[in-house]
């Protein structure tokens, strides 16, 4: 059994069982991958993949367990290299981060600017996607850290560190009736067509909760994964925008922002990583830059807890003590 064979079977799964795409992702040949997979199956005495003729269509029950273990072994091998690099090249490396467009566009720029100045020899890569895509990227080892708000249930088997809370706001054109609202109500908001985030990105569920609590059915006419898209269609007059308050900047002076933090529950942004991963010093530093209360000592303590509810309680206690 070879590490490369394990890398092949994991990448086939990552590429939705397309061996050609797996070969392209690993910069090798499709026949080479197929041969190595067959050699591994022969050595184990069972089939990892279900096949329809020559085509792979899925995993066998044994294959599911083997691929899960293979993922962990590959993470461990990456950790071994990371440990070595930490001693031989402490300020050199690569950091892959997965996050949503809103975080990448509005929360991360100042953090990345500071990080780049401190670690000029660390190559930083940002991968944007939905919560499920972010989770898959973290699980497959394509990224080191994930920054996410929604779908926290996906991250139960990972270390999940609360960073900060953010609120939603309403954005409208200056001539809109809500532009002059002093204290917006759900009833007022329910009178107009709404433009907000796609479910699973940043809180349609919380929006539904607010309207359902008031017994009002929201008229959502458009959803988008990107706050900039929401603002674009508000400018076109298609409706009232509901988005992250941080997404309204000085460049949006043609839009009026109306406070809505009293209407919607705040959302918590978290940083997640795998229990088995070895965090380089610069990774701890990035986490600390993004969330100053997340010192290396606190992150290591959270790692040892192996329980995200306990981690959440720990940070809530810290916040109470800081008040």
Domain ranges of the chain: 3-82, 92-164+268-315, 168-259
Question: What pLDDT sits at residue 322?
Answer: 46
d(CA 213, CA 62): 47
Q: What is the pLDDT of residues 262-312, one digit of tens each?
A: 999 888 899 999 887 889 999 999 999 999 989 999 898 888 876 667 777
Question: What pLDDT sits at residue 72?
Answer: 82
What is the fold of 3-82?
Answer: Arc Repressor Mutant, subunit A (1.10.10)
Angle at CA of residue 296, ends 245 and 160, nearest 5°: 50
> What's 92-164+268-315's CATH class?
alpha beta
Angle at CA of residue 96, ends 92 and 97, nearest 5°: 130
d(CA 199, CA 135): 16
Q: What is the pLDDT of residues 106-120, one digit of tens each?
A: 999 999 999 999 999
d(CA 45, CA 13): 20
d(CA 159, CA 168): 26
- Can you tell me the mean pLDDT for 55-69? 91
Q: Do domains 3-82 and 168-259 have the same CATH topology?
A: no
**What is the CATH number assigned to the segment(s) 168-259?**
3.40.190.10
pLDDT of residue 200 exceeding 70, the answer is no
What is the residue-averaged pLDDT of the chain?
87
| Torsion of the alpha carbons at 132, 289, 277 and 4, rounded to the nearest 10 | 80
Q: Model-level pTM?
A: 0.73
Which whole-number Å values give the CA distances from 45 to 48, 210, 248, 306, in the listed order?
10, 56, 59, 35
Question: What pLDDT sits at residue 287?
Answer: 96
Helices (H), 89-203: 101-102, 109-118, 131-139, 186-189
CB 170 within 8 A of CB 263: no
d(CA 317, CA 262): 24
Banded model confidence at residue 153, pLDDT cuts 50, 70, 90: low
């Amino acid at each position: 059994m070879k590490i490369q064979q394990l890398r092949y079977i994991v990448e086939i799964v990552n590429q939705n069982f397309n061996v050609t795409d797996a070969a392209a992702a690993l910069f090798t040949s499709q026949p080479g991958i197929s041969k190595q997979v067959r050699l591994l199956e022969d050595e184990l005495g069972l089939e990892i993949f279900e096949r329809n003729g020559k085509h792979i269509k899925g995993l066998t029950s044994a294959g599911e367990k083997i691929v899960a273990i293979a993922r962990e072994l590959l993470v461990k091998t990456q950790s071994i290299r990371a440990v070595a690099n930490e001693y031989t090249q402490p300020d050199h490396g690569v950091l892959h981060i997965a996050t949503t467009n809103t975080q990448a566009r509005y929360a991360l720029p100042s953090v990345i600017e500071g990080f780049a100045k401190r670690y000029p020899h660390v190559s930083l890569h940002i991968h944007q996607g939905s919560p499920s895509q972010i989770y898959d990227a973290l699980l497959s080892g394509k990224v080191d850290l994930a920054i996410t708000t929604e779908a926290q249930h996906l991250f139960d088997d990972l270390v999940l560190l609360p960073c900060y809370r953010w609120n939603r706001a309403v954005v409208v054109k200056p001539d809109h009736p809500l532009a002059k609202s002093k204290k917006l109500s759900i009833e007022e908001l329910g009178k107009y067509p709404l433009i907000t985030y796609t479910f699973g990105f940043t809180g349609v569920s919380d929006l539904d909760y607010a309207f359902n609590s008031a017994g009002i059915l929201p008229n959502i006419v458009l959803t988008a994964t990107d706050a900039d898209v929401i603002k674009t269609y508000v400018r076109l007059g298609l409706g009232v925008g509901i988005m992250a308050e941080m997404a309204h900047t000085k460049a949006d002076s043609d839009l009026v922002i109306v406070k809505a933090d009293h209407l919607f529950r705040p959302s918590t942004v978290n940083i997640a990583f795998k229990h088995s991963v070895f965090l380089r010093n610069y990774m701890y530093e990035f986490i600390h830059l993004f969330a100053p209360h997340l010192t290396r000592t606190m992150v290591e303590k959270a790692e040892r807890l192996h329980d995200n509810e306990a981690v959440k309680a720990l940070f809530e206690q810290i916040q109470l003590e800081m008040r």
